[in-house]
């Protein structure tokens, strides 16, 4: 069975919680991603910030992006997985928790991210159907 290491997008970029949403948006643009892990000053994972967080929780509220910090906008982490985690378990975690992105951690270091796109490229159709039903099919 495949593992997280085999399907993850490697070399995930991270943001420090004291960086601005402008920094986050530029990094997302430059790397073609919609979410980035956010780390504390000591390097521990603080959460994830998405492009939607920036737009809905900052821009739409008319807040000054230059004065904000991504730590204010980052969503707390529900789960992470190790690089050796089984793909079936990853699909279950993401489906059960209705999450679309999952950080892969090797100890305290973010080594990759698993997204819906990674699942779609690497997981059987029946597992993808299960994931979609869990994430999008709930009321």
Q: What is the pLDDT of residues 98-126, one digit of tens each?
A: 899 999 999 988 999 999 999 999 998 99
Predicted pLDDT at 57: 85
The two beta strands, 101-106 and 109-115, are antiparallel
42: left (phi over 0), alpha (psi -120 to 50) or beta: alpha
Residue 96's nearest CA partner among 119, 77, 114, 78 is 78
The two beta strands, 15-16 and 35-39, are parallel
Mean pLDDT, all residues of the chain: 90
Is it the case that residue 139 has pLDDT exceeding 60? Answer: no
Is it the case that residue 35 has pLDDT exceeding 70? Answer: yes
Is it the case that residue 28 has pLDDT exceeding 80? Answer: yes
User: CB of 49 within 8 A of CB of 70?
Assistant: yes
Give residue 44's domain range. Answer: 4-136
Q: What is the pLDDT of residues 69-100, one digit of tens each?
A: 999 888 877 689 999 999 999 999 999 998 99
Identify the DSSP state of 59: I
Strand residue runs (E) in the chain: 9-10, 15-16, 35-39, 45-50, 101-106, 109-115
Domain count, the chain: 1
Rounded to 5°, angle at Cα 75 from 33 and 101:
40
CATH at 75: 3.10.580.10
Is it the case that residue 1 has pLDDT exceeding 80? Answer: no
């Amino acid at each position: 069975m495949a593992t997280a290491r085999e399907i993850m997008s490697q070399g995930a970029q991270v943001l420090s919680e004291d960086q601005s949403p402008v920094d986050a948006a530029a990094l997302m643009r430059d790397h073609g991603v919609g979410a980035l892990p956010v780390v504390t000053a000591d390097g521990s994972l603080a959460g994830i910030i998405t492009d939607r967080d920036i737009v809905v929780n900052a821009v739409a509220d008319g807040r000054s992006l230059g004065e904000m910090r991504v730590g204010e906008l980052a969503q707390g982490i529900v789960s992470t997985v190790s690089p050796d985690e089984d793909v079936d378990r990853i699909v279950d975690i993401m489906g059960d928790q209705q999450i679309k992105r999952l950080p892969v951690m090797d100890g305290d270091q973010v080594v990759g991210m698993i997204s819906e796109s990674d699942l779609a490229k690497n997981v059987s159709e029946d597992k993808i159907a299960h994931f979609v039903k869990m994430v999008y099919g709930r009321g």
